[in-house]
Amino acid sequence: MLVICFGVLFGFGITSIAGVLDILKDVFQLSVTGEQSLVAILVIACFFGAMLAGPVSQRWGRRIVILLAVAFALAGYGIILATPDYAWFIAARIVVGVSVGLSSMVIPMYAAEATPARRRGAVVALFQLAITAGILIAYSIALAFASSVSWRLILGSGALPAILGLLAIWLLPESPRWLASRGDMPAAEHAARRLGLLDEWREISAGATVGPETSGYTADQGRKKLRRGGFERGSTVAVLMLCSLLFVLQNLSGIDGILYYAPRIFQTLGFAPGVAALAATFGLGLVNFVATLAALAIVDRAGRRPLLISGSAVMVVGLAAVCAAAVFDWPWVGLAGLGVYIMAFAVSLGPLPYVLMSELFPSAIREQGIAAASAISWLFNALVAFTFLSIVQSIGLAATIGLFLLVCVLSLVICIVFLPETRLVSLEVIEANVLAGRPLRMLGGSPPAREAALGAGRGISGG
């Protein structure tokens, strides 16, 4: 429930403005630059929220950051509901953005730390599913009520998932891994018991060597050496670069421009303004949700690497169709191409960067690493939000989509060359491999060791 609530809060927060942007343009007399600024200001605030989440979660724990995210969300949506003034509206979007930034960093981390290895990918990917649900809800509300309900009520309804998220975190314990990092082993064991991690936690707290893949390290030894600045730090830099690059590719693949400005894109492709463009946007959101639901079912079966490679390839095909539609005035081909792109994104570059960043960073720097990767993601998200309409205006929709297509080709190459497979591998084995300086492609272990883990996973699942 926690992951779902904050995923919905995330998705609704970043895209709810899309359905009322034409209304806000008239209400506040906005230019193209003004529209982009109104969209981007929330995303820029997300960057600062993600940066804040790292040190706060390291010092005071994951639950405190989640509670802060709730407080900021309720404050922001309260302002939106209370006043239509432009300056206050900008302030509200900044406050909501900080909330989304905080949750974008801490929720995947908490989910990874509080979930057994055999279900970790699906649970962390559930966050992305909930994001797509939030996007779909935002598009649905706009389609149903934009012409009859105040834009303040449409945007302010984002307070509801924040309230439910507060109830969820109130019932959950602190991350047992964070408690152990603070030396509070009794509280860590109690939290592990409540979360169903007791067997896994007992192995971790015993400090046993994880196996031949660790090159003789225990996770505890690795953390101590990392804090002293030992040679293993070079591998953590490589992990940071890979995770950050995945988020850069995620944002520059075009998803942000498509989600934020979908009604405007469909108008450019030939759909009539108003209901027709909003209906096409809703269809895109529905495809996004259904495809992400499929990703949730297969992420711990198909593995991270095959999904990212195949997904990037299919995204190229979908965007190529959109380019052709923009050139030859084929609106329905454009809609189909965007649907194919969204489906591929939803099983690859959508959820998997969150899964991988929650898995690959060693525990000693997990907070800082995830915060840095999340912040870089938001920077490039803001770049797209602030420039998309201007670029389309300058070079046309087909050329703009062509740039996104090239990014997807780059994603395909990078995933083939560098991406590790971490399916069914415990966080401690991955950490030990990172600390031992293994190449990025081998952080999930060598193929024989991975096959052994997969066999154990099949035995657990009964498959």
Task: Find the mean pLDDT for residues 191-210.
Answer: 65
- Whole-number Å distance between alpha carbons of 415 and 249: 11
Using CA of residue 319, residue 321, residue 327, residue 331, what is the dihedral sign? Answer: negative
Asked, for residue 395, whether it belongs to a domain, the answer is yes
**Helix or strand holding residue 175 (H, E):** none
Asked, for residue 216, whether it belongs to a domain, the answer is no
Range of weakest confidence among 89-93, 113-117, 129-133, 439-443? 113-117
Q: pLDDT-derived band of residue 215, with 50, 70 and 90 as boundaries?
A: very low
Domain count, the chain: 1
pLDDT tens digits, 133-172: 999 999 999 888 877 888 999 999 999 999 999 999 888 9
Write down the pLDDT at residue 94. Answer: 96
Write down the pLDDT at residue 8. Answer: 95
Task: Find the mean pLDDT for residues 235-254.
Answer: 89
Write down the pLDDT at residue 455. Answer: 53
Task: Find the mean pLDDT for residues 210-234.
Answer: 45
- Whole-number Å distance between alpha carbons of 388 and 461: 45
The one-letter code for the residue type at 75 is A
pLDDT tens digits, 10-45: 999 999 998 899 899 999 999 999 999 999 999 999
Angle at CA 11, nearest 5°, toward 8 and 17?
A: 125
- Whole-number Å distance between alpha carbons of 198 and 188: 10
- Whole-number Å distance between alpha carbons of 34 and 433: 48
- Whole-number Å distance between alpha carbons of 58 and 178: 8
Residue 310 pLDDT more than 80? yes
Token pair for residue 248? Answer: 């850069």
Residue 457 pLDDT more than 50? no
Task: Find the mean pLDDT for residues 419-444.
Answer: 86
Range of weakest confidence among 122-131, 209-218, 297-306? 209-218
Asked, for residue 437, whether it belongs to a domain, the answer is no
Asked, for residue 360, whether it belongs to a domain, the answer is yes
CATH code of residue 330:
1.20.1250.20
Write down the pLDDT at residue 292. Answer: 83
Using DSSP, how many helices (H) and how many strands (E) does the chain show?
A: 23, 0
Residue 230 pLDDT more than 70? no
Task: Find the mean pLDDT for residues 335-353.
Answer: 91
pLDDT tens digits, 393-405: 999 999 999 999 9
- Whole-number Å distance between alpha carbons of 126 and 111: 9
- Whole-number Å distance between alpha carbons of 351 and 353: 6
Asked, for residue 361, whether it belongs to a domain, the answer is yes
Asked, for residue 36, whether it belongs to a domain, the answer is yes
230 or 334, higher pLDDT: 334
Angle, helix 2-15 to helix 86-113, in steps of 10 degrees: 150
pLDDT tens digits, 40-74: 999 999 999 988 888 898 889 999 999 999 999 99
Q: Which residue has the tokens 């003789």?
A: 216
Write down the pLDDT at residue 458. Answer: 47
Write down the pLDDT at residue 451. Answer: 52
Q: Which residue has the tokens 């429930």?
A: 1
pLDDT tens digits, 80-113: 999 768 999 999 999 999 999 999 888 988 888 8
Asked, for residue 149, whether it belongs to a domain, the answer is yes
Task: Find the mean pLDDT for residues 196-201.
Answer: 73
Whole-number average pLDDT of the chain: 84
Asked, for residue 53, whether it belongs to a domain, the answer is yes
**Helix or strand holding residue 241 (H, E):** helix 233-250
118 or 423, higher pLDDT: 423
Q: Which residues of 329-347 are buried (b: 16+ CB within 10 A; e: fewer)?
A: ebbebbbbbbbbbbbbbbb
Residue-range definition of the domain harbouring residue 83: 2-172+232-418
Write down the pLDDT at residue 370. Answer: 76
